[in-house]
Amino acid sequence: MSVIPDISVNVCGKYFKNPVIAASGAYGFGEDYTDLYPLSELGGISCKGTTIAAKDGNIPPRIAETPSGILNSVGLQNPGIDKFINYYLPRLKKQDTVVIANIAGATIEDYAEVAARLDSTDVDMIELNISCPNVKQGGATWGVTCSGAASVTKAVRNATKKPVIVKLTPNVTDITEIAKAVEAEGADSVSLINTLLGMRIDIRTRRPILHNNVGGLSGPAVFPVAVRMVWQVSNAVKIPVIGMGGIASAEDAIEMMMAGASAVQMGTAIFGDPYAPIKVCEGMKKFLQENKIEKISDIVGTVKPW
């Protein structure tokens, strides 16, 4: 008799039926893949980064393929917080998955106001995007210094009782210092990594492929960097870490959890294979069965460093 493997996890008091969350920016507001499978197949969804007012984003091209990855510079195109709350959120809340609002802003006041508006909704969690590399104002300008990250976290913490996840940028000298700074200001969790700043040039035209010149690198190319940072951060803070960056298979997700992630997010891999999150869940169950492990949370942080 084989035991049914338990791949559910609990992060910040929220129950996730599986540890796979669609990463912000890769899955819109959860409406685009429902022809293939219901959103309830996912542990959760982190919605497209949302700002106080609607944003048109950057001039295209906004994407360039790279070896084992992509560069993007969408520039936070989104319909604004009102449309999120009034239109998308009620639809998302019927889907039996954890709904995470991802928020961004140009000023600390913007972040606080968006968080305050979400506080009175039934959104499950708030992910604070202080790491978007593609907008001039806001995003990563907050995430690259301890004082900037701490001040945004503090303002949002004061504006909401919802669990707050702070999404960190890898484009810093020591990501553990940023993680500790946001933990000290009351972050309930950190998620990492956002994209690594990169650039590609068309050698025929000598023009950068992205109209924004530079953009964020994601996909399997960044996976080892992400594993390293998740491992370092999970050793530096007590709050749960959500790991992401190039996860494309169950093996990758398991590796990320062994590095210290309590849950994972997937983004770029879904573009190539929309079923990737489901395959990861199936692979996790198989791994647990084969290794006689009762539940997936038992593997979190179990890497045995030399």
Partner 1 sequence: MSFYCSSYPIVEKKALAGGIYSFTIKCPEVAQAACVGQFVQIKAEGYTLRRPISICSIDKENGTIRLVFEARGKGTDKISELNKGDLMDVIAPLGNGFTVPAKKDGRVIVVGGGIGTPPLLDIANMYGENCTAILGFRSFDKVILDKDYALSGAKVIVCTDDGSTGVGGTIAQPLADELAKGGVAAVYACGPTPMLKAVVAAAKEAGVYSEVSLEQRMGCGVGACVVCACTVVRDGKEQVLRVCKDGPVFSGEEVVL
Q: What letters, b where the CB count within 10 A reaches 16 and e where it falls short, cover 252-284?
A: bbbbbbbbbbbbbbbbbbbeeeeebbbebbebb
- 38 near partner 1, rule: CB under 8 A: no
Which of the stretches 65-73, 127-135, 175-183, 199-207 binds partner 1 when contact is defined by CB under 8 A? 65-73
Each residue 188-217 as x (binds partner 1 by CB under 8 A) or -, in order, gives ------------------------------
Alpha-carbon distance values, 103 to 78, 279, 301 (Å) = 10, 29, 28
Which of the stretches 61-69, 84-92, 149-157, 234-242 binds partner 1 when contact is defined by CB under 8 A? 61-69
- 80 near partner 1, rule: CB under 8 A: no
Decide if 98 contacts 104 (C-beta within 8 A): no
Cα–Cα distance for residue pair 21/261, rounded to 1 Å: 12
Q: Which position among 137, 184, 275, 302 is part of the footprint of partner 1 (CB under 8 A)?
A: 275
293 phi/psi in degrees, rounded to 5: -105, 135
Q: Which position among 14, 17, 48, 162 is part of the footprint of partner 1 (CB under 8 A)?
A: 48
- Indicate the pairing of strand 44-46 with strand 164-167: unpaired
- 47 among known catalytic residues: no
Decide if 54 contacts 46 (C-beta within 8 A): no
| DSSP one-letter code for 86 | I
Residue 138 tokens read as 């806001």
- 65 near partner 1, rule: CB under 8 A: yes
| Residue closer to partner 1 (CB basis): 116 or 270 | 270
Q: Which position among 272, 286, 294, 298 is part of the footprint of partner 1 (CB under 8 A)?
A: 272
Residue of 12, 47, 132, 281 with catalytic role = 132
Burial class (CB in 10 A: 0-12, 13-18, 19+), 152: buried
| Residue closer to partner 1 (CB basis): 26 or 250 | 26
Q: Which position among 68, 141, 171, 249 is part of the footprint of partner 1 (CB under 8 A)?
A: 68
Cα–Cα distance for residue pair 58/243, rounded to 1 Å: 27
Which of the stretches 50-58, 104-112, 154-162, 255-263 binds partner 1 when contact is defined by CB under 8 A? 50-58
Burial class (CB in 10 A: 0-12, 13-18, 19+), 204: exposed
| Residue closer to partner 1 (CB basis): 45 or 181 | 45
| Residue closer to partner 1 (CB basis): 28 or 186 | 28
CB of 88 to partner 1, least distance (A): 13
| Residue closer to partner 1 (CB basis): 31 or 251 | 31
Q: Which residues bind partner 1 (CB under 8 A)?
A: 25-28, 31-33, 35-36, 48, 56-66, 68-70, 72, 74, 77, 219-220, 268, 270-275
Catalytic positions, written as ranges:
132
